[in-house]
Amino acid sequence: MIAFLTGRMAGRTASSALIEVGGVGLRLIMSTSSLAALPADGDEVTVHTYLHVREDELTLYGFESEDERALFEALIGVTGVGPKLALAVLSWMRPDVLRTALARDDVALLSSVPGVGKKTAQRLLIDLKDKVGTPELGGSAGGASSRAVVEAREALLGMGFSPAEAAVALRDVAEGATTEQLLRSALKMLGGAR
């Protein structure tokens, strides 16, 4: 298995990054948040990877962190969840938001991911809750609620921002921030970027 690679950014599309490693251009399929975290073309980058092997295809997936790769591997271990759906989940929710949704048994939030229905969301809860290190839900949640982050993300997408822009704008959220506060902060950041 290829655990990670270090190379030079050679380009990107809406769903993948092109990284040159030793004169070879590798195409890595990535979540929108991982794509948003990549440096500019020409800069050096290290990406954690997962090689998915099928009878007729080899696909290399890339991740910003080892944690995101571990969640991807846990997701594809769930019956009925393939790499495409696992990547959709990680594009829709950051790892900490996913863990919080699992800890709260939040079927509605999990089924808000495009392609994840209620049955798949319930299967994710059953199969992953004890495997991915869900947070304790005591007094401090460690950031904004997962519901607030997802609602803010959906609002930004509805305003025409790309998934990558929404991921960057909502990357560092304040403790206990509401959906409205997240949107205000994100719009302020994105307004300066355009």
Domain boundaries, the chain: 4-63, 66-128, 146-193
At 185, the pLDDT band (50, 70, 90 cuts) reads confident
CATH topology of domain 4-63: OB fold (Dihydrolipoamide Acetyltransferase, E2P) (2.40.50)
The answer, yes or no, to whether residue 65 has pLDDT greater than 50, is yes
**Domain spanning 146-193: which CATH class is it, in words?**
mainly alpha
DSSP bridge pairs for 59: 52
Quick check: 15 and 91 in contact, CB under 8 A? no
pLDDT at 193: 52
**Tokens encoding 39:** 């440096």
Q: Are strands 44-54 and 16-21 parallel, antiparallel or unpaired?
A: unpaired
Tell me the average pLDDT of the chain.
84
Handedness of CA 162, 167, 170, 175 (dihedral sign): positive
pLDDT digits (tens, 9 = 90+) for 112-143: 888 888 899 899 988 887 777 665 544 444 45
* 79 against 141, higher pLDDT: 79
Q: Are strands 16-21 and 24-30 parallel, antiparallel or unpaired?
A: antiparallel
At the fourth CATH level, the homologous superfamily of domain 66-128 is 5' to 3' exonuclease, C-terminal subdomain (1.10.150.20)
At 66, the pLDDT band (50, 70, 90 cuts) reads very high
pLDDT digits (tens, 9 = 90+) for 80-117: 899 999 999 998 888 888 888 888 888 888 888 888 88
pLDDT digits (tens, 9 = 90+) for 157-175: 888 887 767 777 776 666 6
pLDDT at 144: 59
* 95 against 19, higher pLDDT: 19
**Tokens encoding 142:** 């460690």
- In the chain, DSSP assigns E strands to 4-12, 16-21, 24-30, 44-54, 57-63
Quick check: 30 and 16 in contact, CB under 8 A? yes
Quick check: 7 and 38 in contact, CB under 8 A? no
pLDDT at 145: 66
